């Protein structure tokens, strides 16, 4: 299936994990992909993997915390590929919570919101004129179940909830201009962020109705669906991709048995 022949796609935070899997999936379906990340060496490794599989990709440095960096990455993508059809906002920051909420430093709160929420805003702002010009533009942001329910991480969760709100408001603004805007909300996904914590992943697997945590490819499949013409009449939605986690409370149910 080659749903993205002739498309140019930009993915942020694409060097590892969900971002890298998403870039691979777009490339496998025919897109030319801008693999952007704050770590240029890792971005180049991701591009090499895509090219080994016959895909088309270029690596660009992009710090979503900097307006100049974002605008330069978008401009470089358009210069390289001649257009931009899809933006995937995947970059994020997530710092551990302090033991007590009142001990949370301002700097931690500010960074999580700046990278996760304001970073996506910067990317949408820079990309939108090009997405409008493409005639088939789409934005897909990677949120989290943390933006829907309580799973800890105050600042990160607030930022992901804000990303869901931005998705809705931007969908209303951009829809008449021909651009769709949607969000996927993953549950626990086996990414490098969980490196060395296999026991924790095994422990939470039983909380998922489908009996496992997610893989990056699970999220990539949902992102590419929402970006494709298969979702041509879908905009402004938050799609949980969470193995059923937010549909039920298995821990509560187990206590009643």
Catalytic, out of 7, 92, 156, 208: 156
Domains of the chain in start order, with CATH, are 8-255 (3.40.50.720)
How does pLDDT run across 68-103, given as a tens digit for each residue? 999 999 999 999 999 999 999 999 999 999 999 999
Quote the pLDDT of residue 255: 81
3-state SS, residue 88: strand
Helix, strand, coil % in the chain, rounded to nearest 5: 50, 15, 35
Q: What are phi and psi of 235, to 5 degrees?
A: -155, 150
Band the pLDDT of 190: cuts 50, 70, 90: very high
- Across the range 108-137, mean pLDDT stands at 98
Q: How many CB atoms lie within 10 A of CB 208?
A: 18
In order, the DSSP letters of 152-205 are S-HHHHHHHHHHHHHHHHHHHHHGGGT-EEEEEEE-SB-SGGGTT-HHHHHHHH
Our measurement of the distance from residue 183's CA atom to the centroid of its chain's CA atoms, rounded to an integer in Å, reads: 8
How does pLDDT run across 22-77, given as a tens digit for each residue? 999 999 999 999 999 999 999 999 999 999 999 999 999 999 999 999 999 999 99
C-alpha 2/C-alpha 87 separation (Å) is 18
Are 219 and 145 in contact by the 8 Å Cβ rule? The answer is: no
Are 220 and 21 in contact by the 8 Å Cβ rule? The answer is: yes
- Across the range 179-198, mean pLDDT stands at 94
How does pLDDT run across 161-188, given as a tens digit for each residue? 999 999 999 999 999 999 999 999 999 9
- In 25-114, DSSP assigns E strands to 32-37, 56-61, 86-89
Respond yes or no: is residue 160 known to be catalytic: yes
- Across the range 181-206, mean pLDDT stands at 93
- Across the range 109-125, mean pLDDT stands at 98
Band the pLDDT of 232: cuts 50, 70, 90: very high
Q: What DSSP element (H or E) covers 122?
A: helix 119-134
How does pLDDT run across 123-176, given as a tens digit for each residue? 999 999 999 999 999 999 999 999 999 999 999 999 999 999 999 999 999 999
Catalytic, out of 7, 92, 121, 160: 160
3-state SS, residue 91: coil
């Amino acid at each position: 299936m080659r749903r993205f022949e002739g498309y140019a796609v930009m993915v942020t935070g694409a060097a590892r994990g969900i971002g890298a899997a998403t870039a691979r999936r777009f490339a496998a379906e025919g897109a030319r992909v801008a693999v952007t990340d704050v770590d240029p060496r890792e971005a180049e490794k991701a591009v090499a993997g895509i090219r080994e599989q016959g895909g088309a990709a270029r690596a660009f440095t992009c710090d979503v915390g900097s307006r100049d960096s974002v605008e330069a990455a978008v401009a470089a993508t358009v210069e390289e590929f001649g257009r931009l059809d899809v933006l995937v906002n995947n970059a994020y920051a997530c710092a551990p919570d302090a033991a007590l909420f009142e001990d949370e430093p301002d700097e931690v709160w500010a960074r999580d919101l700046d990278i996760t929420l304001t970073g996506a805003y910067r990317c949408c702002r820079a990309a939108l004129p090009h997405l409008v010009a493409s005639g088939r533009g789409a934005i897909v942001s990677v949120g989290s179940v943390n933006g829907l329910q309580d799973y800890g991480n105050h600042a990160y969760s607030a930022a992901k909830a804000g990303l869901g709100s931005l998705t809705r408001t931007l969908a209303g603004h951009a829809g008449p201009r021909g651009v769709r805007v949607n969000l996927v909300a993953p549950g626990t996904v086996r990414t490098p962020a969980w490196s060395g914590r296999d026991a924790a992943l095994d422990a939470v697997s039983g909380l998922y109705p489908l009996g496992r945590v997610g893989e990056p490819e699970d999220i990539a499949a949902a992102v590419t669906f929402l970006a494709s013409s298969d979702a041509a009449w879908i905009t402004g939605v938050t799609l949980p991709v969470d193995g059923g986690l937010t549909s039920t409370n298995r821990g509560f149910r187990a206590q009643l048995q």
